[in-house]
Amino acid sequence: MKKVILVTGASRGIGNNIVRSLANNNIVIANYNKSVEQAIKLKEDMQEKQVDIDIIKADVSNREEVNSMVSTIIEKYGKIDVLINNAGISQYKLFTDISDEDWDIVMNNNLKSVFITTQEVLKSMIPRKEGLIINISSVWGVTGAAMEVAYSTSKAGIIGLTKSLAKELGPSNIRVNAIAPGIINTEMNNKFSKEEIDNIKEEIPLERIGEPGEISKCIKWLMEDNYTTGQVISINGGWNI
Ligand code: NAP
């Protein structure tokens, strides 16, 4: 049966691939914020394949915008079966250079967004006693990264939220899991030179960086599964074992 799936941050990168890989057999709503052209292109590309998706703009760090987005989806489809909290931003700075504003931007976009979107979706998910929430963390949320303290902290926060919420929502038959990708081939890593990427590859046992589709495959598996909750699934080519 077709699931109603909301993917946040789907205009580009991993979220964009998740939409493309799930839309064939499901009802997929692709959230975006700034990249309107990419979101429209995603919808047009899918239309060419005779697949209809919804695109919907909302800054997921803003409660009112998320409330309005979720209400629109519930009015149209009556439910959300799967929430994929994927939206996120990176920040590359020496810890001593991080301003209060820098810190808040990362926490709001990466962590508060998960808090807000999950709460809004749960209003209709808990009464139905069925659902799946997948949060995109990062290898840096597990191990920590120099020059990315705010980012790593936000992604570690997602892991704490995932584990705690899985315990709270288990009795409501709602599973909550996190995926912790290693380095994945998206615009987020444009800050690294080719030489830096090559150096990273040397540290990865599988000797390559990951592709967005490798995250989508894990999401498909989590949608088929019924007994996994509170877990952090690392997809990183063995970079962190
Ligand atoms: P990306 O290519 O930079 O795309 C980020 C996406 O997030 C964009 O679609 C962007 O939408 C959206 N976004 C950011 N802030 C938003 C907000 N406030 N509201 C709505 N959408 C927002 O990054 P990516 O590599 O695909 O990353 C996706 C997720 O995977 C992130 O959470 C990231 O931290 C995580 N991750 C990535 C890697 C990696 O190596 N790429 C590794 C580990 C974890 P707009 O452009 O429309 O604003």
Tell me whether strands 131-136 and 82-85 are parallel, antiparallel or unpaired: parallel
Summarize pLDDT for 28-47 with one digit per residue, the tens: 999 999 999 999 999 999 99
pTM of the predicted structure, to 2 decimals:
0.99
Q: How many Cβ atoms sit within 10 Å of the Cβ of residue 99?
A: 9
CA–centroid distance, 87 to ligand 1, in Å, is 4
- CATH architecture label of 4-235: 3-Layer(aba) Sandwich (3.40)
Structural tokens at position 108: 């709001």
Sign of the four-CA dihedral 104, 63, 216, 228: positive
Q: What is the pLDDT of residue 197?
A: 96
CA–centroid distance, 14 to ligand 1, in Å, is 7
- Catalytic site residue from 77, 92, 151, 227: 151
**Backbone φ and ψ of 37, nearest 5°:** -65, -40
CA–centroid distance, 86 to ligand 1, in Å, is 6
**Backbone φ and ψ of 155, nearest 5°:** -75, -30
Query: What residues have CB less than 8 Å from 115, skipping those under 6 apart?
Result: 161
Partners of 179 in beta bridges:
136, 233
100-107 and 149-169 helices cross at what angle (nearest 10)?
40
Tell me the C-alpha distance between 154 and 67, whole Å: 22
CA–centroid distance, 8 to ligand 1, in Å, is 9
- 32 part of the active site: no
- Ligand 1, atom 3, lies closest to the CA of 188
Summarize pLDDT for 141-187 with one digit per residue, the tens: 999 999 999 999 999 999 999 999 999 999 999 999 999 999 999 99
All residue ranges of the chain with pLDDT < 50 are none
Q: In the chain, where are the structural domains located?
A: 4-235
Alpha-helical runs (H) found in 129-191: 139-143, 149-169
List all residues whose CB is within 6 A of at least one atom of ligand 1: 8-15, 31-35, 59-61, 86-89, 109, 113, 136, 138, 181, 183-184, 186-189
Burial of 221 from C-beta contacts in 10 A (0-12 / 13-18 / 19+) = exposed
Structural tokens at position 236: 């990183």
Reduced to 3 states, what is the DSSP secondary structure of residue 164? helix
Q: Which atom of ligand 1 lies closest to the CA of 210?
A: 40
- Ligand 1, atom 39, lies closest to the CA of 184
Q: Which atom of ligand 1 lies closest to the CA of 209?
A: 40
Q: Which atom of ligand 1 lies closest to the CA of 13?
A: 26
Q: What is the pLDDT of residue 1?
A: 84
Alpha-helical runs (H) found in 49-138: 63-77, 100-107, 113-128
Q: What is the dihedral of CA 110, 155, 211, 235, to 10 degrees?
A: -150
Query: What residues have CB less than 8 Å from 75, skipping those under 6 apart?
Result: none
Cβ distance 36 to 30 under 8 Å? no
